Structure 1
């Protein structure tokens, strides 16, 4: 339209028109230079979202369904629970090994469910709603099996020590599949509380599409919360095999608060809010000022979730006072991400990545991005124009911008020029620390591969993995943005389900924003210009 208008003006031979023509030629020339640069930094969030959900199919344990899209995987763990006389087939492998750890698996499902609750419309608009629900249900179906009695939860299958001596495909697994439970004599309030949170959140997701399943999940969630609260204790004291891999450093109090908030969201029952209010100080919910949110430390997520109650519920003055304390601590986390506290802030790498610790730092990046986006939306819903941090006020849009910068860093806008989401973009980790990915597919070669054979023939290979574990978010670079793509560098090249889970909602939200921006730009560019009427 601009070029067509300029030609029209050129024919009229007016000096003013010639000046205007020259101006537009200059602008057009600049645009031809600038636009390709801008386009180079534009990311396909929809493609990243699709790949993220595909990752969960690569992590499936059990008998795979007919519609399995990750075709290099086969059935595995088909006798899980057999020794204990219980059916524990299914669920997810948490990372590159084959142990089914209940605590991180439950957190993964909670975050997937929260993504759908907050951004279900956006996920649906991207055509991924069905896949998101499938990812959640693969986990909740397993939790239903694992909760065999109101006060019994099977919290782990497999042993990390023996599993790590083996490098095998899951289809060849020969390591012991001992199952471990918590009960009244061996409590585990953290894993029971997180599983209750996952099932409560998932019950909200399935409420419209499958009311019966939603009710079943809620029933299990309520019983698990009752169990977790009545028989208190850390699960890694009852299941010592978990201590070396997923110890509950934060204790179990955060999971009790977390579960109560999700049960309130699922039921609207006042008793759960009262539980959160009355235990806010004793359980640390109104005391801990956090700079991380993870499978272990839930406080920042609790505080953000509690904050959202202030705009939707009718509470007493005393209850609102305590909820405001939760909000204050939640905002400390948000301000720390924004480097707006007068003290404790999150470190950033030279390339701009939020940095918490060396081992698997990307889990903290993806979870921060989710809380930033969610809190930005809350501020808009509460009609708060600014968030007042100690070091200055910030607008809700600034939270979105920081979250976007973290996602863009993940997808390739970083000093290494590499996408840390496997399978996305032109350059991504090719030697992921992942047993199934690093060994020839069972579908291609059904010959048995033993423990040591896997190490000798596959683990030490310099070449890229034969199977791409698409959608896996690896641990990522160090505090100086350095990354070494080596299978043995498990601190950086191993991926986990709870790394990718928070990204699902964020990517859906960013895709929607980009789509709306594109429509806005198209609408603006198709409007009649001054030149058309000159």
Structure 2
């Protein structure tokens, strides 16, 4: 590849002019094609632009006319770079495409498109500093739109303003809760996903990922940056938003220290606005996995919130200790949905990973020997596998925390965990180089986009220990995939990029009368199992990476969820911090 033309000052300012090269792109062509797939949000000035050209006869034939590609200004079609596509590679089985990849040198700050003769133009993209800041803020604002029991005024929610729904100040005890009298007041928190229920397992686990970002980079969203009702209170908007969930979780702890597993209707509500939900709501069950996840998240939050509010931090730590004690006395309290409950189960028959995470957070916060002894007996199992985020990724969270707080961890344990994390990160780097879209997974199940982001978090943990450029570049590849460098040519975060999901499985988005969905929510992504196939039209004989449908009924591929947004926010926030170092 070679840079053909140095940009003049006028070119950088996008003065319209056509290329004089006879074999260059046609002037002022304005039609984009999804056959050229790339990050639709943008790249940093020190970052090569990586893209894939797929599924056209010209590409498959390898004709000379498609050997060259051009980078042009988005306005004026001035050619700023010429490069050569790689060899054609058959990715039909996994991605449903025959593809040729292209890479540019880093480009100057500006707005550009890729042009491939006989194929067309890509969607536009930007090159600039802080290029991921908007998607980071957007993904965090997505949590605000998920607030339960709260009105969302137009001043903060814009077009997506709505009335309050589900106050949850009088919630019934389901028989599985172990209580038969009274009612629970459990207001607030975030709706978990496209439904209107609230779950401890999938509230605490994402909170841990959000809190990890704060510990790794400092405050990523200072007061006033998110435009939420708490903005202007002199405290971090980031911690203000997380506190909305923490406050709810505290209400779900029973007097004996155990955690009710979830707060839910017996069946999912219809596709209605929150205030129209009419089903009776219950606290259901009590489980060791919910309790240990809560113990971990609150112990971690007790550290993070110490300067925010010392009394609140003390309350969190007390709650964590009580949960830890309950879990120790109820080792077999695993959850399964009662016969009359059909909402999300978040069941798990093994609590080793949750126990390691809770012990690690309590040890990092207190330094007490009890928790280190437990870690020696049940060390974190550092590993990565698609589709197991909310069941086993907690062990990785435990390792990240112990490495983050090395002053407390004996050298032998530290060295072993560091070696495991670095080895795993190195394998993920190698994996991304073997795939057509530089993504770190080849199995695509429920929430596959979160698998990509969870892999990127492992790379961040390794980079924190042993700073290596390949860790950051692979994290950027993961973000490229999510933001458009995929065979569906979709930026999976609603409201961003040129082509993003319009029909997510999300009740407010489906029923608010607004064409665009609530922004800042990450679609689950391709799911080869297609559990919703009878209700959904996928591409015929869709390959795993194309098993995604932008349709509201597609809960298997196009729903949103807290534990998908959380690692996305972490990775976007971490990359922004890393770019600013």
Instruction: Provide the TM-score with structure 1 as the length reference.
Output: 0.73
Counterpart residue number, 1:299:
395
Counterpart residue number, 1:407:
479
* 2:427 equivalent to 1:336: yes
1:336-355 equivalences under 5 Å are 336-339=427-430, 350-355=436-441
Counterpart residue number, 1:496:
561
- The structure-2 alpha-carbon separation of the partners of 1:197 and 1:436, relative to structure 1 and needing over 3 Å to count, comes to same
- What's the secondary structure of 2:284's corresponding residue? strand
- The structure-2 alpha-carbon separation of the partners of 1:2 and 1:69, relative to structure 1 and needing over 3 Å to count, comes to closer
Judge conservation of contact 1:349–1:480 (CA < 8 Å) in 2: no
- The structure-2 alpha-carbon separation of the partners of 1:3 and 1:500, relative to structure 1 and needing over 3 Å to count, comes to closer
* 2:288 equivalent to 1:189: yes
Choose which of 249, 257, 272 in structure 1 pairs with 2:371: 272
Q: Residue 179 of structure 1: CA displacement? A: 1.5
- The structure-2 alpha-carbon separation of the partners of 1:359 and 1:53, relative to structure 1 and needing over 3 Å to count, comes to same
- The structure-2 alpha-carbon separation of the partners of 1:333 and 1:189, relative to structure 1 and needing over 3 Å to count, comes to farther
- The structure-2 alpha-carbon separation of the partners of 1:242 and 1:371, relative to structure 1 and needing over 3 Å to count, comes to farther
Choose which of 116, 119, 125 in structure 2 pairs with 1:40: 125
CA distance in 1, matches of 2:499, 2:576: 21
Choose which of 496, 500, 507 in structure 2 pairs with 1:435: 507
- The structure-2 alpha-carbon separation of the partners of 1:37 and 1:232, relative to structure 1 and needing over 3 Å to count, comes to same
Choose which of 478, 483, 489 in structure 2 pairs with 1:417: 489
* 2:312 equivalent to 1:213: yes
Q: Residue 137 of structure 1: CA displacement? A: 0.5
Unaligned runs of 5+ in 2: 1-5, 10-77, 83-106, 115-123, 174-182, 227-234, 528-543
Q: Residue 336 of structure 1: CA displacement? A: 3.4
- What's the secondary structure of 2:466's corresponding residue? helix
1:10-409 equivalences under 5 Å are 31=80, 35=108, 36=112, 40=125, 42=127, 44-64=131-151, 68-69=156-157, 71-79=160-168, 81-84=170-173, 85-124=183-222, 127=225, 130-159=236-265, 162-163=267-268, 166-182=270-286, 188-237=287-336, 245-249=344-348, 251-280=350-379, 285-286=380-381, 289-292=383-386, 294-297=389-392, 298-309=394-405, 311-313=406-408, 315=410, 320-339=411-430, 350-355=436-441, 356-380=443-467, 396-409=468-481
CA distance in 1, matches of 2:316, 2:550: 41
- What's the secondary structure of 2:260's corresponding residue? strand
CA distance in 2, matches of 1:125, 1:74: 25
Question: Which structure is higher in helix share?
Answer: 1
1:510-534 Cα offsets, whole Å, 9 max, x none, are 2234445xxxxxxxxxxxxxxxxxx
- The structure-2 alpha-carbon separation of the partners of 1:144 and 1:243, relative to structure 1 and needing over 3 Å to count, comes to same
CA distance in 2, matches of 1:118, 1:277: 25
CA distance in 2, matches of 1:372, 1:210: 32
* 2:521 equivalent to 1:472: yes
Question: Which structure is higher in strand share?
Answer: 2
CA distance in 1, matches of 2:220, 2:334: 37
CA distance in 2, matches of 1:55, 1:428: 15
* Count of residues in correspondence between the two structures: 432
Instruction: Provide the TM-score with structure 2 as the length reference.
Output: 0.67
Larger radius of gyration: 1
Q: Residue 349 of structure 1: CA displacement? A: 5.2
Q: Residue 52 of structure 1: CA displacement? A: 0.5
Q: Residue 483 of structure 1: CA displacement? A: 3.6
Q: Residue 429 of structure 1: CA displacement? A: 0.3
- What's the secondary structure of 1:475's corresponding residue? coil
Judge conservation of contact 2:201–2:346 (CA < 8 Å) in 1: no
- The structure-2 alpha-carbon separation of the partners of 1:500 and 1:197, relative to structure 1 and needing over 3 Å to count, comes to same
Judge conservation of contact 1:439–1:467 (CA < 8 Å) in 2: no
Q: Residue 337 of structure 1: CA displacement? A: 1.8
Q: Residue 308 of structure 1: CA displacement? A: 4.0
CA distance in 2, matches of 1:224, 1:361: 31
CA RMSD of aligned residues (A): 3.2
- What's the secondary structure of 1:485's corresponding residue? coil
CA distance in 1, matches of 2:505, 2:414: 42
CA distance in 2, matches of 1:247, 1:348: 33
- What's the secondary structure of 2:557's corresponding residue? helix
CA distance in 2, matches of 1:216, 1:65: 28
- The structure-2 alpha-carbon separation of the partners of 1:322 and 1:118, relative to structure 1 and needing over 3 Å to count, comes to closer
- What's the secondary structure of 2:127's corresponding residue? coil
CA distance in 2, matches of 1:346, 1:63: 42
Q: Residue 32 of structure 1: CA displacement? A: 7.0
Q: Residue 328 of structure 1: CA displacement? A: 4.1
- What's the secondary structure of 1:236's corresponding residue? coil
